[in-house]
Amino acid sequence: MPRRDKRADIVNAGIRIFSRKGFNRCSVEDILQEAHVARATFYSYFDSKKDLFVELVDGILNTMFEIVAKELGDIPMTLEELKERTSNTILELYKFFSENWEFSAIYIKEVMGMNPEIDYRIVEWQQRVADMVKVLLNRGIERGIFRSMDVDIVSTVVAGIPQHVGLQLFMLNQAVDIPRVAEAITDYLIYGLATRN
């Protein structure tokens, strides 16, 4: 019989408990019962409930950044290529959220405003995405794809749009037409930034 991965059991139990009860309303005891592990086992992997929560948040943020970097890490050569990659990025982000609903609920419902350390991690992630967008915008301006703009401000706005829309759509309605959302956001972003003839 294969050995149980108790750390994974704890992480998965944390995902379920945090998504159902929220960070503040659950205890280490709730996680222990869900994972079917002893208190000593939990503390051999994590210093606290917050330590487990921070690891989960880091996992969500890293996955989201990898999705963005995969499509937008190198600079598209044309407006059509940029439109396709932007749409793919948005589709993949929403697919990640919808396929990992319990995991995503932690981020959507619990993260911002909970703790200064976690707030810092979110702001740091948003800055990483904004920096990537800034490079895309500057290259797009150089190539004549985008019009001249305040790249610092626009990159911050663009980096926050998918996250904000995700919060609104998933919190208000889980039956989301993700391709429609991706198309609408992509059209808005790409053609709002494109050079005007």
Q: What is the mean pLDDT of each run of 10 residues along the chain (197 residues)?
A: 78 89 88 94 94 88 87 79 86 82 69 68 84 89 88 87 66 68 80 74
Residue ranges of domains in the chain, CATH in brackets: 1-46 (1.10.10.60), 53-193 (1.10.357.10)
**CA gap 194, 197 in Å, rounded:** 9
Residue 194 pairs in a beta bridge with 146
| CA dihedral sign of residues 57, 63, 69, 71 | negative
Q: pLDDT tens across 110-163, in order?
A: 665 566 777 777 788 888 889 988 998 898 888 888 889 899 998 888 887 766
Contacts of 85 by beta carbon, 8 Å cutoff, 6+ apart: 71, 72, 76
Query: Considering the entire predicted model, what is its pTM?
Result: 0.75
Q: Max Cα separation, the chain?
A: 68
